[in-house]
Amino acid sequence: MYLSRFLSLHALWVTVSSVMQHYPSVWGHYDVCKTQIYTEEGKVWDYMACQPEARDMIKYVKVTLDPPDITCGDPPETFCAMCMMPLGWTIPTHYLLWVSCLKAWQLGNPYMCNNECDASTQELAHPPELMFDLEGRHPSTFWQSTTWKDYPKPLHVNITLSWNKTIELTDNIVITFESARPDQMILEKSLDYGRTWQPYQYYATDCLDAFHMDPKSVKDLSQHTVLEIICTEEYSTGYMTNSKIIHFEIKDRFAFFAGPRLHNMASLYGQLDTTKKLRDFFTITDLRLRLLRPATGEIYVDEQHLARYFYAISDIRVYGRCKCNLHATSCKEENKKLFCECEHNTTGPDCGKCKKNYQGQPWSPGSYLPIPKGTANICIPSISSIGNPPKFDRIWPNISSLEVSKPNQENVCDNELLHCQNGGTCINNVRCQCPPAYTGILCEKLKCERDPGGCNQNSAQRAVSHGPLLLLTALLGVTGLFIF
């Protein structure tokens, strides 16, 4: 008895899994652009909004430094690093370093000035690409600037991250410093490939003094002020090992709409769909870190020890997805350039226009609403591309499923997915010519079904017109609840 119930449950699970592969998640993941459904008229395409998966975008980034010669090592120079004991250090393994650090802190001068940066020696070089390599080892790898040897001239560095593609951020931007975190920094964004820039967030040990702004944190914001540009002191103090990270909080801002644990993503998607400024806030083509003042740890700069002051970054993390205007589920790299693999008869790097011969109505982005499938807003054939209609009535798929009010699917039948069934023949991709016993868009119905007496045993086998969801419903009805 238990075995039969188990087998029934297994069959149900296989069916559910198969069905769910072809239907969008009820949580609104938007990972399917179209699926075939069954209607009274036959099998038709059902289009829906779709978007690529979020991913680590750093692997596609191009980095530019300004000034170009700001990286240390050419010529070689010595710098002083604050002695800190990482979590991976143990007294038996790193005894001498541990003792040196301890003595330095006891003497009130926790700097070790025996470090060298030399661009011509691999072990001593700190080029920009080391900001993006894999970490998790000791010692960590990092990019490093020259020291503040030209004080009092400001030590300004711009680090620009470019994707040459519109990106939608999905997680916090995380910057890990190898040096102490800077006393002053601005994170900026661009939406036009670096032509113009807007501040994202200010960082300072003293916001009022540095930027004439009152200090705030994201926790001080709300749904109504989520777009406010703030200055935070939260990430500019502290000199211990665990005080090296700077965040730009994406998820905390999402939480104002989706709840603390982001369980109500439908609410967030609704806000993104109806509030362009909100969606643009999380959209970028470039990021820029403006490092304005290195960490000093003191009120005054010690001019006798300028080799203490520099910037060093070991890791940058940016997670997001290609912006495809809800017209694609994948984004690929070709010739070091990202582009959307567009669906819905759209084209362009961001699926931002209709394909040739599919301009029957103005292009429009997809919509997250209604949850969970959204609205595809597909491009429909141009009137000129349809040509002169044949003498017979043109048969179109279920118009309501396509979210438009005019014929909008180029093929009613073809030799790939939309086969004419039961021996039918596809005529010019616009109708199926059915055998005498069959009818329907794809010849999927028996004509005898319309007869008063219905079909008898001598009739041909009934065409299957039930979709997978009806099959799932039937299985649920037969199987019922399993009690072990």
Q: Can you give 385-454 as a three-state secondary structure string?
A: HHCCCCCCCCCCCCHHHHCCCCCCCCCCCCCCCCCCCCCCEEECCCEEECCCCEECCCCCEEHHHHCCCC
User: Residue 75 pairs with which residues in a beta bridge?
Assistant: none
In b/e form, how buried is each residue of 419-431, taking b as 16+ CB within 10 angstroms?
ebbbebebeeebb
Looking at residue 107, its pLDDT comes to 52
pLDDT-based confidence at 239, cuts 50/70/90?
low
pLDDT-based confidence at 55, cuts 50/70/90?
very high
Taking residues 113-136, report their average pLDDT.
Answer: 88
Looking at residue 118, its pLDDT comes to 95
For residues 283 and 159, membership in a common domain is answered with: yes
Is 483 among the domain residues?
no
Mean of per-residue pLDDT scores for the chain: 80
Supply the range of the domain harboring residue 222.
Answer: 55-322
> Cβ atoms within 10 A of the Cβ of 154, count?
12
Looking at residue 472, its pLDDT comes to 38
Is 479 among the domain residues?
no
Instruction: Give the model confidence (pLDDT) of 304-351 as tens digits.
Output: 889 999 999 999 999 999 999 999 999 999 888 899 999 999 999 999
The token duo for 228 is 């406010």
Is 148 among the domain residues?
yes
Residue with tokens 């040459």: 164
CATH of the domain at 266: 2.60.120.260
For residues 10 and 107, membership in a common domain is answered with: no
For residues 284 and 357, membership in a common domain is answered with: no
End-to-end CA distance of the chain: 10
Query: Of 7-16, 84-93, 156-165, 354-363, which has the strongest mean pLDDT?
Result: 156-165
Pair 344, 356: CB distance under 8 Å: no
State the maximum Cα–Cα separation within the chain, in Å, rounded to a whole number.
Answer: 104
Q: How many domains does the chain have?
A: 2
